[in-house]
Structure 1
């Protein structure tokens, strides 16, 4: 059985989504994300961050409730999200990593999350990392041949190369491609599934695949 590390960041509450972890999963609450988990009855395995956005009372509650509490100085080289992802990557029992609430705040924070997965220390695990927010999921792929399934409530499908991409083929989608190469980063957006599955392949580069839907009025919980 797969074990998922759920990394819950502290995006604005109006845009937040939260996991429904299984017994074998772990939850890494990052700064205010840890408090938001506890307020929803989600057990926090590890709370990590500089905790500069929570009160003294909230911090005391977090120390008493989380299985592990790791506080870092605000002046540090890594972001809180990078520290959390490092913890998940180093756990050899974890096979999937889901990151929640990485958008809705500062633009520089959003970009740091999107680029974070391409760091050499994380690149070998890139295929196990998924980014989740209210209307999007992002998965990352090394070169290969893949079949993916359409997610419920997701209409749009985008293929984004943060690197040059060689011989990209898209099948069973509204706008197919056949062995198309791009010698620059490219975002092929607003494609769509023709049925419940599509296939894609490429021979060089790193590809992000995004499934997107329209904004829902109610917050959602997600179980991997």
Structure 2
């Protein structure tokens, strides 16, 4: 099957510089106000989804005219957030990688929901990433190669009650057969020694957050 990378632009703060990361073969999904962001920056979304309650009628018309496909739902009678709707569409379009932009913001409930959404991706054998100016977030249950993306820190947080058999190579503070449990800060604020590092775990799910202030 052909590899499909799907970029989801949600309604949070997005630096226009992220538009430079769009490749020709990417599928671009705008979630609610994220679709307006794309349109206002000259990008025609392949799909725009959401209830569009955060845009004006005039802005919605812009989105409709510029989108190749529009999926609109009722603002009240819906069970999924706009970002999760976009994520579900990405799964249906056979994504092999989903990159979410504009999903970390002032609403902690939405932020946590979007982070946990990466579990859904893993269940479908899809690599999921959350990316913004200050954070690059991934999830692993096995082995993960980390590359220097210009962030200062690499923090490891369990997304299951515990993660066992953690091995770090290429980090300032290495770990060998370590265990991390929820609530522990041992894995916070590590650093890469060079351009790449390797993280291996034996059990559990590990959230990897590259970040900078």
TM-score normalised to the size of structure 1? Answer: 0.85
Equivalent residues of 1:16, 1:133 under 8 A apart = no
The secondary structure found in structure 2 opposite 1:83 is: helix
CA RMSD of the aligned region, Å?
1.9
1:135 aligned residue = 134
Question: Where does residue 38 of structure 1 map in the other structure?
Answer: 39
Deviations 1:187-206 (A, max 9, x none): 51110011111112111111
TM-score where L is the length of structure 2: 0.89
**Whole-Å separation in 2 of the counterparts to 1:146 and 1:106:** 29
Cα deviation, 1:135-164, whole Å, max 9, x if unaligned, reads: 110111122x3332211x211111111111
Structure number with higher strand proportion: 1
In the alignment, which residue of structure 2 is the partner of 1:158?
Answer: 155
Could you tell me how far 1:116 is from its partner in structure 2? 2.0
Whole-angstrom distance in 2 between the partners of 1:129 and 1:181 = 24
SS at match of 1:60: helix
Give the Å deviation of 1:88: 0.6
1:128-207 matched pairs, under 5 angstroms: 128-143=127-142, 145-151=143-149, 153-163=150-160, 164-184=162-182, 186-187=184-185, 188-207=187-206
Measure the CA separation in 2 of the matches of 1:22 and 1:183: 38
Structure with more contact order per residue of length (Cα contacts < 8 Å, sep ≥ 6) = 1
**CA drift at 1:174:** 1.0
Pair 1:16–1:186, CA change in 2 (3 A): farther
The answer (yes or no) to whether the contact 1:17–1:134 under 8 Å persists in 2 is: no
Unaligned runs of 5+ in 2: none
2:93 is matched with: 91
Structure 1 segments unaligned to the other structure (5+ residues): 215-224
* In structure 1, C-alpha distance between the alignment counterparts of 2:11 and 2:3, rounded to whole Å: 25
Given that 1:17 and 1:100 are in contact with CA atoms closer than 8 Å, whether structure 2 keeps it comes out as no
